[in-house]
Structure 1
Amino acid sequence: MTPVNYSAAHIQSIVSQFIIEGNVASVKAHGTGHIHDTFHVVNSTPQQPDYLLQRINHHVFKNIAGLTENIQLVTTHLRKKLEKIPGAAPSQEVLTLIPTKTGQGYYQDESGHYWRIFLFLPGTRSYDVVENAQQAYEGGRGFGKFLALLSDLDATLVHETIPHFHDVESRLSLFNKAISRNPKDRVKEVAAEISFVQERIQKMCTILHMGQRGVLPLRITHNDTKFNNVLLNANDQAQCVIDLDTVMPGYAAYDFGDAIRTIVNTAPEDEEDLSKIAVNMSLFEGFTRGFLSETRPILTANEVDSLAMGALLLPFIMGLRFLTDYIDGDTYYKIHYPEHNIIRARAQFSLVAKLEEQYPLMQQLIQTIASTETQLTAGK
């Protein structure tokens, strides 16, 4: 969805549809997200809050009503759970969706665009790149707490906002169809990458098959656990998990794996020089400690065992998606040059290979940290 320049009067007319306190002083673009158009609505009335206005990308998220129901369900549950925890601040630790004057969670304008408003959380910050193990720990703690607090909410109550999002068999099916179509005659260019995928199919279906057999419980998961989706406070402590659009049924290893994918890589997602790609195990350990500090009481032994495989699976899926899009003629992802998607795919597959080398150590660290957390929990 291409960002649109909106007039102040148009933004004001959108904001006026919602039940907000005070008056609008100014509106400015906010954040680095690529999916929605996001604006910081500054309040001119003293003691009244600022707001975050978003135009929802209804091309990516087609079921706006279901998406909104998910957010309302999850935030209500989180708020009720936090209200029972001494010292918690639910209004600061959970997103607050502001209703329209007709009681809905979103507004559709005359152009067919969908809008929503959240309370703005002042004094928070997010990072696109993890700078140290302590930050990684806080990211793990934030996403882990999110998963743990939702562990007693029935996963079948939430909608699939993007069907088959982390379903590797579905992704492989799309991949094979793209190879069959071969619209740009690119298959011959990517034989090595196709072989990389085919050699790992059985292994990469492990988590999905464990879930299908009931070995892994279906949970409500975030499914987009980039580090910048946790807001930290002024002391760099995890405060609030944001970007709830992909909250769907899933497995704990999905959230763990996607976070590891985006945190431990020493190079950018589209790094062309594969020699620069390595795994920062200090950040891996930091995130794992934070994640298990919150989730160990609710995770089964099988879920703990699946986490290291999740760290392989999520970059594999991401590389598979980039490779599929390259073969298909770059129809999904925005690219900045013709080879961008295949460069991205190679970078992700290189990360998978590096993580495979570290797999025994990752498993050992996870089990050691899980055991320590179990002992700490038992001693409380």
Structure 2
Amino acid sequence: MGAGEDRVSGTTAISNARSYLRSTSRSVSTKLGLEDQNNLAGFGFILPNLVVFSIFLLGPVLYAFYLSFQHWNLFLGEGEWAWTTILGIRLPVQNYVDVLTPPPWANDWASFRSPSYNLWWFAFRNTVAYTVVVVPCQIIGGFLLALVLDSRIRGKKVFRAAYFMPVMLSSAASGVIWRWLLAKNGAVNEVLRPLGLAHGWANDPSTALGALMLIGLWGGIGFNMILYLAGLQNIPEELYEAARIDGASGWSRIRHVTWPNLRNTHFFVTVLAIIGTFQVFGIALVFAEGGPHHATTTVVLHIYRTAFANSSYGLGAAMAFLLFSVIFVFSYYQYRLRQQQEVEY
């Protein structure tokens, strides 16, 4: 009798276990099915953008990279591989060699002093100088403006709109406006002439690049101001209250509370500013057309003229990918630096 009851209870336990396994597997399969459906639905939403991205952006980029290894004439629509021999190995990299040689240190850094040796390195020098001056000034100027406009002042919405107005103008419009303002008989010289300081700012090789930097500052500070204003509004007010209780002055609160808590904004602003200044093109073309004597010729302007004015598309594509490499290195360095700062905090 006891043995029969044990067999019955054992059979019941096995049956219950099988039922549990069936229900569990059914629920798991249902869950997996829902997850698959959600994944497919998400993929369906991004598919149109993915197709557009591949056709109109990724495809042309890959094709331009392919053409950078060829002597390609844009108007004839034909070309041949740009072969050269490096260390006994035959490679289709003649375009890259032509761009980078002679190196900037040859002839006592002649390529940095005169565009007649190597216009690529001279344009690169102009672009780096523009970036080194404009980026820090844009960041500091945007940050200080954001601090002022985040305080309790009257008419701050009007000031925000006024400072952001240059960002809304196209680079062509900005170039035309400043070309008129800085002309020999322009508004700026009309003010400076009584002081004996009138000058042809855009026509002098020694001042043309500085004038271009001024335009870059005018157009970029307002954009950084908006980004910093957004970051300031995300800092908890309790941190400032605690700093005031501890007796921190206004400068101390900015240094120890505001600045550290904007590190993500700093990273974003810096990367965007570096990319934007390395790609400066429109204002350089419209303001002084790269002159005088290539004083305002930037890398992107040089690429444009090489590819489209001289119809050397392969050479221009090689320059474009060299510029991409430089921007990528700067962006990656900033990313790694931000990661280290996050670990420290």
TM-score range, shorter chain: under 0.3
Q: Which has the higher contact order (CA 8 A, sep 6+)?
A: 2
Larger Rg: 2
TM-score by length of structure 1 reads: 0.20
TM-score w.r.t. the length of structure 2 is 0.22
Larger helix fraction of residues:
2
User: Whose strand fraction is larger, Structure 1's or Structure 2's?
Assistant: 1
